Amino acid sequence: MKFFLRNIEALGAILLAIIWVSPLLYAFWAAFHNTSDAVNFNIYGEWTLDNFKIAWDGAPWLRYFLNTFMLVTVILIGQFFVTTLAGFAFAQIKFPGRDFVFILVLMQLFILPEVLIVENYAMVSRLGLFDTILGVGMPYMASAFGIFLMRQAFKGVPYELHEAARVEGCGWFGILWRVYVPLARPTYIAYALVSVSTHWNNFLWPLIVTNTPDTRPLTVGLSIFGAPENGVDISIISAATMMSIAPLLIVFLIFQRQFVQAFLRTGIK
Partner 1 sequence: MLRLKKMSQRQSIYGWLLLSPAMILLTTFAFYPSMATFWSSLFSRGTRRKPSKFIGTDNYTDLFADPTFWKVLTNNLIYAGATIPISIVIALSMALWANSKIPARSFIRTAYFTPTVLPMIAAANLWLFFYTPGFGVLDQIGSLFGLPSVNWLGQPETALFSIIVVTIWKEAGFFMIFYLAALQTIPEDLKEAADIEGTSRWYYTRRIVLPLLMPTTLFILVNALINSVKLIDHLFILTKGGPNDASKLLLYYIWEMAFAFFDAPHAAATTILVLAALGIIAGIKFTILDKRTHYQ
Q: Are the C-beta atoms of 130 and 192 separated by less than 8 Å? A: no
Shortest CB 255 distance to partner 1, Å: 11
The number of residues in the chain equals: 269
Closer residue to partner 1 (CB): 187 or 238 = 238
CA-to-CA distance for 150 and 196, rounded, in angstroms? 17
Of 111 and 164, nearer to partner 1 (C-beta) is 111
Shortest distance, position 106 Cβ to partner 1, whole Å: 7
**Which C-beta is closer to partner 1: that of 67 or that of 219?**
219
**Smallest separation (angstroms) from partner 1 to the CB of 158:** 16
Q: How far is the CB of 57 from partner 1 (least distance, A)?
A: 18
User: Among candidates 53, 54, 48, 56, which has minimal Cα distance to 32?
Assistant: 48
Min dist. Cβ of residue 38 to partner 1 (A):
8
111: left (phi over 0), alpha (psi -120 to 50) or beta: beta
- b/e per residue 38-58 (b: at least 16 CB within 10 A): beeeeeebeeeeebbeebbee
Q: How far is the CA of 227 from the CAs of 121, 180, 224, 236, in angstroms?
A: 24, 48, 5, 12
* Closer CB to partner 1, 49 or 106, in the complex: 106
In angstroms, what is the minimal distance from the CB of 41 to partner 1? 7
Of 210, 254, 242, whose CA–CA distance to 70 is shortest? 210
CB 235 within 8 A of CB 34: yes
Count Cα atoms within 13 angstroms, Cβ side, for 163: 3
- CA 79/CA 91 separation, integer angstroms: 17
For the CB of residue 181, give the shortest distance to partner 1 in the complex, in Å.
13
